[in-house]
A and B are shown apart, each in its own frame.
Chain A
Amino acid sequence: MSASADVHPLRESRFDWGRVVLNVFLPIAGVIVALLIGAIFLLLLKADPLAAYAAMARGAVGTTFGLTQTLVKATPLLLVGLGICIAFRANMINIGGEGQIIAGAIMATWFPLTFHSAPGWLLIPSTMLAGFMAGAMWGFVPGILKARLNVNEILSTVMMNAIALQLMNLLLQGPLMDPAAVKQGTFLAQSAQLPHQVWLARLVPRTLLHSGAIVALVFAGLVYLFLWRTTIGYAIRAVGLNPDASRYAGINVSTAQALSMTLAGGFAGLAGVVEVIGVQHRLLEGLTSGYGFTGIVAALLGGLHPLGLIPASILFGGLLVGADTMQRAVQVPSALITAILGLVVLFVSGAALWSRKWAARRMTFQHPESEKSSP
């Protein structure tokens, strides 16, 4: 796969099995260390760690329902993570996921409510497309601001997140509020229920698992093909690895950056769509559930690779589902769960060091006369 040209912005190493193994087991090791520390907290709270973690494992994968819940949570993690992957490959940090999910969710509510007589086979794909575009727009703004005006994307996405949240509030307080709730005088912060034909099919009866999971899997494959088998994808990766060399090679760096943020927004928006038409069947407060941030964690767990994201999002989804089951079983405050998950993220992000050291050592060993390895 490696080219021999001297000024080549990308040099792929041969497929490194050791690195792959490390990339899989290190995160798991990080998770285990964090859970061990969590066990100390559990003991301090007079809860039984063994019972707690048994409940966690059982909750995530020990029952049919638990397993489907894991996949239900993995779906938006995967979609958001795919977007994060694309952005990260162009060296852009997208923490605007929350706002982009909301943008997609708003569109996924307004669109079917407006075109409520369209048949399902038309309404579902067009809603997904509309939601993707809405999210893409929410990612495009920070992207173009970075590309044209050098506005840092962390700054613009933090602002866009808040704006999206207020936009949703605005709509839920007024035009999108459920007419039934208004009539009954409850004024709940939710939209009318979406027409049945746009609801995603449930894959397993009496669970929440919906066909959005399959959509997410398909997109994971498509994103892989996009990044590794198309010129645009190549440009995005090149810009991330070596912007100066890419520029020299004729790639428009700012366009690639803006595009990557736009696509990242689109996938986060798609996550919002899928949550609305697959799970909630209406727009309501709190539907982002922090996926805009946890999607970033999933992306890292997956090695920033679209296919690696699949097991990573399932693992992380299982962790989230299992943590809730644990809370129910031993009745610890939910805040402990958040703290333990934070430790998981800290440890897993720290564990990546060893994988990088391994990769660096292998590269210098195999290519003693090569240029310095890229970080």
Chain B
Amino acid sequence: MKRVLIVVAVLFAAAGMLFAGGSTEKASGPAMAAAKPFKIAVVMPSATTDAAFSQSMWSALQSIQKEMGGESKLELKYSENMYNVPDAAAAIRDYASQGFNIVIAHGSQYGSSVQEIAKDFPEVTFAWGTDVNTFGMPNVYAYTAAAEQGGYVNGVLAAKLSKSKKVGVTGPVEVGDAKTYIDGFVQGVQATDKSIAISKTWTGSFSDVALMAAAAKTQIANGADILTGSSQSVVGSIGAAKDNGSVLWFGTQADQASLAPALVVASQVYDWTAMLKDIIAKHKAGTLGGITYTLTLANGGLKIAYNPGYKLAADVKAAGDAAIKGITDGSIKVNP
């Protein structure tokens, strides 16, 4: 067996020597000549097509790329489904060493990786979310979304629209922005109409669409006429609402109107573009990090996208707009 080990080791060394063409880590200079495109890389824990967390960041990046003039002006690279943290660390380090200007670590689990790697690449900007900690490092930005704010607004709207006075929540696992969104939603409902009963079901999985659909069906069977929820598997709940035909839906993380054009009332949309543009501008100006960004209704990072396909009564919309204004000017406080 020892000889087997040696044989394999030799094979590997040979392969390594064949292909190890000087691609060791090299420190990169800041973006120099105007002809070279600005380079941003993003590492994400789920797929770019997840209709939720990862997709919101990826589409924001793509829209910025379009605005800036395409591939030649802004080069984008991505790594998706990086739920294994060491793999993500390798990706972050790899992009940093390839001379990317900004590396976005779009997952709260990547924190310690960013902390370690950012030290070695002082000229690269690392943007990390969702969290609030920049580790006191000059080249790390942190970002998060105050999901509870949009949740509150949705809750206000839901309370006004519910005829059965029963509202259902279908969530994955009670953590992160799923939790904060739903907690905000509950506050919004209760601030508007205390008589409404809110039922929550947690499926224990971010990806089990069938179970989410069954949870939604159960809520509907129990009399809920408004549903909301979070995570990529929430498409199942929307489907259940569609099957029923009269249950209304409130979405988060992305505009979900296209999934049920007649039933989605509004969605809280994460719009990362303003934040990203600010980070790009700051990086070009020499500030590589040190700020925590929070998407809020006030700064436009969070938007309530009313679905034009759903006719919203004027007084309900007024209540929703009042809630937005209240949160924006600080008179309404929503706890995460």
Which residues on the B side are within 8 Å of A65 (C-beta)?
25, 90, 93
A113 to chain B, nearest CB (A): 16
A194 to chain B, nearest CB (A): 11
- The bracket for how many chain A residues form the interface is 35 or more
Complex contact A63–B24 (CB within 8 A): yes
Segment with Cβ contacts to B, from A38-46, A132-140, A261-269, A304-312: A304-312
Complex contact B176–A187 (CB within 8 A): yes
Smallest Cβ-Cβ distance to B48: which chain A residue:
A333
Say yes or no: is B91 at the interface (Cβ < 8 Å to chain A): yes
Cα A54 to Cα B114 in complex, Å, equals 27
Contact of B173 among A58, A173, A305 (CB under 8 A): A173
Contact of A188 among B12, B15, B131 (CB under 8 A): B131
Which residues on the A side are within 8 Å of B85 (C-beta)?
279-280, 284, 286-287
Complex contact A284–B109 (CB within 8 A): yes
Cα A73 to Cα B86 in complex, Å, equals 8
Which residues on the B side are within 8 Å of A166 (C-beta)?
204
Cα A58 to Cα B112 in complex, Å, equals 25
Say yes or no: is B80 at the interface (Cβ < 8 Å to chain A): yes
Complex contact B7–A24 (CB within 8 A): yes
Tell me the number of A-to-B contacts counted with CB atoms below 8 Å. Answer: 152
Complex contact A63–B25 (CB within 8 A): yes
Smallest Cβ-Cβ distance to B76: which chain A residue:
A331
Smallest Cβ-Cβ distance to B7: which chain A residue:
A24
Cα A187 to Cα B174 in complex, Å, equals 9
Say yes or no: is B130 at the interface (Cβ < 8 Å to chain A): yes
Complex contact A187–B112 (CB within 8 A): no
Complex contact A187–B336 (CB within 8 A): yes
B residues 1-51 with Cβ under 8 Å of A? 1, 4-5, 7-9, 11-13, 15-16, 18-21, 23-25, 45, 47
B323 to chain A, nearest CB (A): 20
Q: Mark A334-354, 1 if CB is under 8 A from B, else 0.
A: 110000000000000000000
Say yes or no: is A244 at the interface (Cβ < 8 Å to chain B): no
Which residues on the A side are within 8 Å of B23 (C-beta)?
58, 62-63
Smallest Cβ-Cβ distance to A56: which chain B residue:
B19
Contact of B8 among A190, A314, A325 (CB under 8 A): A314
Cα A327 to Cα B87 in complex, Å, equals 12
Smallest Cβ-Cβ distance to A290: which chain B residue:
B84
Cα A59 to Cα B120 in complex, Å, equals 19
Complex contact A62–B19 (CB within 8 A): yes
Q: Mark A119-141, 1 if CB is under 8 A from B, else 0.
A: 00000000000000000000000
Complex contact A186–B144 (CB within 8 A): yes
B42 to chain A, nearest CB (A): 11
Smallest Cβ-Cβ distance to B89: which chain A residue:
A208
Which residues on the A side are within 8 Å of B93 (C-beta)?
65
Which residues on the A side are within 8 Å of B174 (C-beta)?
173, 187
Complex contact B8–A69 (CB within 8 A): no
Complex contact A186–B108 (CB within 8 A): yes
Say yes or no: is B180 at the interface (Cβ < 8 Å to chain A): yes
Complex contact A169–B173 (CB within 8 A): yes
Complex contact B15–A61 (CB within 8 A): yes
Complex contact A311–B4 (CB within 8 A): yes
Which residues on the B side are within 8 Å of A59 (C-beta)?
90, 94
Q: Mark A55-72, 1 if CB is under 8 A from B, else 0.
A: 001111111111101001
Q: Mark A62-94, 1 if CB is under 8 A from B, else 0.
A: 111111010011000000000000000000000
Say yes or no: is B163 at the interface (Cβ < 8 Å to chain A): no
Known: A57-B19, A63-B20, A185-B180. A324 touches B91 (CB 8 A): yes
Which residues on the B side are within 8 Å of A318 (C-beta)?
12
Say yes or no: is A367 at the interface (Cβ < 8 Å to chain B): no
Complex contact A328–B112 (CB within 8 A): no
B71 to chain A, nearest CB (A): 12
A residues 183-208 with Cβ under 8 Å of B? 184-190, 193, 206, 208
B198 to chain A, nearest CB (A): 18
Which residues on the A side are within 8 Å of B135 (C-beta)?
none
Cα A63 to Cα B21 in complex, Å, equals 9
Complex contact A324–B87 (CB within 8 A): yes
Which residues on the A side are within 8 Å of B21 (C-beta)?
58, 62
Q: Mark A168-180, 1 if CB is under 8 A from B, else 0.
A: 0100110001000
Say yes or no: is B175 at the interface (Cβ < 8 Å to chain A): yes
Which residues on the B side are within 8 Å of A37 (C-beta)?
none
Complex contact A328–B95 (CB within 8 A): yes
Cα A286 to Cα B83 in complex, Å, equals 6
Say yes or no: is B287 at the interface (Cβ < 8 Å to chain A): no
Which residues on the A side are within 8 Å of B336 (C-beta)?
185-187
Q: Mark B134-177, 1 if CB is under 8 A from A, else 0.
A: 00000000001000000000000000000000000000011110
Complex contact B18–A57 (CB within 8 A): yes
Say yes or no: is B179 at the interface (Cβ < 8 Å to chain A): yes
Q: List 5 A-B contacts (CB under 8 A).
A: A63-B23, A184-B131, A189-B176, A286-B83, A289-B87
16 further A-B pairs in the complex, CB-CB below 8 A; given A187-B174, A285-B83, A286-B84: A24-B7, A59-B90, A62-B19, A72-B86, A172-B175, A177-B175, A184-B132, A282-B112, A284-B85, A308-B4, A315-B12, A320-B87, A324-B79, A324-B90, A328-B91, A334-B79
Cβ-closest 5 pairs across A and B: A185-B336, A62-B20, A61-B16, A189-B175, A289-B84
